[in-house]
Amino acid sequence: MTTSPSWVRFFKVTLILIVAGLVVTSFRGTFRADADEYVNQSLKQGVSVYATARATNAIISVAKTAHTPIADFGEMLDPIDDLVERFSTLLEISIGSLILQKMLLEITSHIAFSYALACSGFFFILSLFAFKPFLRSATSRIFFTLVFCRFSILAVLLLNGLISETFITKKIEVEAKNVAQIQEQTTKFVDSKSSVAQLSANSPQPNSLLESAGRVLAEIKQVTIDPILNIWNKFDFQKIKANLDKAVESMLQLMTLFFLKTILLPILFFFGFKKFITGIWRMQLGKESALFVPEGRMVSHTN
């Protein structure tokens, strides 16, 4: 028998159509806009939360140095300050990860990459009709590697965007809003306390005629009014501590969500990328493969 079976011809035609479809899809840039939108929104969200974290860190630093009626108030804020620092570091890594993903998307979506994919696909199709093991193996490996690079990055961004939109993004918005509100309340309070302290420090000293009366009034104030003010100030600073404690829970939630969204999933993707590429370059297509036997070369053995 000197002709290939019909199923081999059908398989070759199907494979050629698949290669052509992948090349056309690459040039059209299908779903590129959706992936760009996901990355840009994630970057905007990450930068906004990072700005809030840095502002919270700054206001905690001011509160730690403020004169308060609570002993060791600054030391009480040290754990929260450390958490905010680590939260900011994690956000920096998350933003860097998003920028890297955006760069990879731009590289693999460039027109030059599509032309490289088209050329590799053309030579891969030619190898289907050439009984040359080295040529067949090399072209198939190059083509499948470029296909994976071109579409896997796009696919993982779209999948990550779908998962984030369904389970993560809204939670990030809620927790970020809580942290921003607490940061704003704390900032207003610390600013008001700083203004009162500055006004008290800059108040004019009594002149010689009123010095005696001023001393008497100061003693009365120290005995009657100052204890009440200390209790009130102590209550206010305890409120600051309580608000910051509430922010801790939201920050921990945000750390987990950003880690999952921008670090864990990309790491899993690159691990899968490495495994896939390794599998492709270890793939062996033997001479006996019916798919790659040229037309007229396939022979059936009968008794």
DSSP conformational letter for 287 = T
Q: What is the pLDDT of residue 212?
A: 47
What does the longest C-alpha to C-alpha distance in the chain come to?
133
Per-residue pLDDT of the chain (303 residues; tens, 9 = 90+): 444 567 778 888 888 999 999 999 999 988 899 999 999 999 999 999 999 999 888 888 877 776 665 556 667 778 888 999 999 999 999 999 999 999 999 999 999 999 999 999 999 998 888 757 777 788 888 898 899 889 888 888 988 888 888 888 889 999 999 888 888 877 777 666 554 444 344 444 444 444 544 454 444 444 444 444 444 454 466 677 777 788 888 899 999 999 999 888 878 877 877 787 777 667 654 444 445 545 555 444 444
Three-class SS string for 145-176?
Answer: HHHHHHHHHHHHHHHHHHHHHHHHHHHHHHHH
Residue 129 DSSP one-character state? T
* Per-residue DSSP letter, 257: H
Helix (H, G, I), strand (E, B) or coil at 68: coil
Report the pLDDT value the prediction gives residue 44, as an integer from 0 to 100: 94
* Rounded CA separation 38/40 (Å): 6
Q: What is the DSSP letter of 59?
A: H
pLDDT at 287: 45
* Cβ neighbours, 10 Å, residue 205: 7
Contacts of 1 (CB under 8 A, 6+ apart): 298, 299, 300
pTM: 0.74
243-246 contact pairs (CB < 8 A, 24+) = 243/182, 243/185, 243/186, 244/60, 244/77, 244/80, 244/182, 244/186, 245/80, 246/178, 246/182
Alpha carbon distance 89, 24 (integer Å): 42
Residue 98 · residue 262 · CB < 8 Å? yes
